[in-house]
Amino acid sequence: MPIQADIHTLTIMRRKAAAALATHGVTLCAAATFVGCSISTVSRSIKRINEVGNVADYERSGRPVLYSEELRLELIGFYCQTQPLPNSGRWTIRWAATHLEQHPEIINATPSKSTIQRILNENNLKPHQSRYFLHITDPDFFPKMNHLIDLYLNPPQNLFFFDECPGIQILKRLIPDIRTDGTAKTLEEFEYIRNGTMNVLAFFNYADGKVYADCKADHKTNTFLEMFKKHVSHNLSGNSKTNNEKLHYVMDNLSTHRGYPFCEVVAELSDITCPPQTELNSLEKRVKWLSSPDKKIVIHFTPYHGSWLNLVEFWFGIMNKKVLNGSYGSAEELKEGFDAFLEEWNVLLAHPFRWSYDGKGLQQKAVKRFTVMLNQAAHKLELTSLIKQLRLMTNLLSHYFNEVSEENWRNLFSTLQHSKEILESNIENEEGPKKKKNAQIALNDLLFGLKARISQDVAEAA
């Protein structure tokens, strides 16, 4: 129902409530205050009820409505659910008005730009606006997220966040920034010269917000291992409390963070013997060993597409604004600027970033988003992404069923059934037999699980 219709219905309900209160002994002033209207409105409502039996507005003079409710809905459907180009593009209001003027048969009308804008505003629709989001792709995202949130809310004494900021472009502006007379704004030249790239490797201390970082020419395995050794030594040297406590590191799933050379370094720094490579011969085994708490150094991995769970990313955002927007003619100039900012941060600006998000509601959001995805673009889903999404939904169904409303589970089940033919066609067109098999199994598992769980809930309710 459009917003204006809702407002009209609410107004009628207020008038009826105020009149009912007044006729049952409540003063006009009290009735008006209670329902949120004026005393004169209460008086008029009582008079209208006595005269004609209702409080609806009289018919008013003026130009009749040009666009019916059905036509408005067709216009909204055209603007919000179609694309101006084959499978791409997004309407602007001016473009849509011009297009409908040339093709009035689409909705049998030629609304003006202002009319389209007014109808969209009345329904609070802004489909021409967009923003980026990071989609959940890891089937085991939520157990990993909950582990990290528990870690942040009950932090150990030594907790550090590590990440690389790779491929930073060293840009030299052709003209220095200038300030014009009469304005505080800085004018920046858009044209620049490229002077190579730089990489920043940084460790963020959860306890005090201080950062241990450096600029490097690359972020290969040896570079990472060298920085990691330096950071561990930096924290162990002359610190008896740190020596007696474990060191916890949060980092992402880059291959250098999960390779056997890193296992060897962690074992060396933990004063234990590293298991032989034949024993740590798979990614899963290395991750499990690195994450195990029975050694001096414990690694905690973020989920795939879970960079927002790593607090050093917030510091990278600050560093980007303070340092990387400058003009540098060489890697040395960039490093000089970075080192100066790092010292300023650690001496004057450093402060801990406290985690408060508990993850509630994200499970339901993931289910709703996948349902919308299936409704709008099931035929466009790449098979690898589809498999991950189906497995994610199955895991949510098994372990977080009560975190998602029954209505959303039913909507997902209905949408899956409706999209099943399209999804199976996508699977059938896949050339890789292994991927095809995995996709079909994931789809069948989710459909079977949803059907069984929903049927069980219905039976229990009965």
Three-state secondary structure along the chain?
CCHHHHHHHHHHHHHHHHHHHHHCCCCHHHHHHHHCCCHHHHHHHHHHHHHHCCCCCCCCCCCCCCCCHHHHHHHHHHHHHCCCECCECCCCHHHHHHHHHHCHHHCCCCCCHHHHHHHHHHCCCCCCCCCCCCCCCCCCHHHHHHHHHHHHHCCCCCEEEEEEEEEEEEEEECCCCEECCCCCCEECCCCEEEEEEEEEEEEEECCCCCEEEEEECCCCHHHHHHHHHHHHHHHHCCCHHHHHCCEEEEECCCHHHCCHHHHHHHHHHCCCCCCCCCCCCCHHHHHHHHHCCCCCEEEEECCCCCHHHCCHHHHHHHHHHHHHCCCCCCHHHHHHHHHHHHHHHHHHHCCCCCCCCCCCCHHHHHHHHHHHHHHHHHHHCCHHHHHHHHHHHHHHHHHCHHHCCHHHHHHHHHHHHHHHHHHHHHHHCCCCHHHHHHHHHHHHHHHHHHHHHHHHHHHHHC
Residue 128: the pLDDT is 73
Spans of all domains in the chain: 3-52, 69-122, 152-349, 362-461
| pTM across the whole model | 0.72
Nearest in space to 457 (alpha carbons), one of 418, 416, 402, 417? 402
- pLDDT score recorded for residue 327: 67
- Predicted local distance difference test score (pLDDT) of residue 2: 47
Torsion-angle region of 167 (φ positive above 0: left; ψ -120 to 50: alpha; else: beta)? left
Phi-psi label, residue 71: left if phi above 0, alpha if psi -120 to 50, beta otherwise: alpha
**pLDDT in tens for each of the 462 residues of the chain?**
444 445 566 777 777 777 777 777 788 788 788 877 788 888 877 777 777 777 666 666 667 777 888 888 888 888 888 888 887 788 888 999 999 999 989 988 899 999 999 888 888 888 877 776 667 888 999 999 999 999 998 899 899 999 888 877 766 665 566 566 655 666 565 555 666 677 888 999 998 999 998 888 778 889 899 999 999 988 876 554 555 688 999 999 988 899 999 999 999 999 899 999 999 999 999 999 999 998 999 999 999 888 889 999 998 888 888 877 666 667 778 788 888 888 999 998 889 888 888 888 899 999 999 999 998 888 888 889 899 999 999 999 999 999 999 999 999 999 999 999 999 998 988 888 898 899 999 999 999 999 888 876 644 544
Tell which CATH architecture fits domain 152-349. 2-Layer Sandwich (3.30)
Residue whose C-alpha is closest to residue 195's, from 163, 217, 164: 217
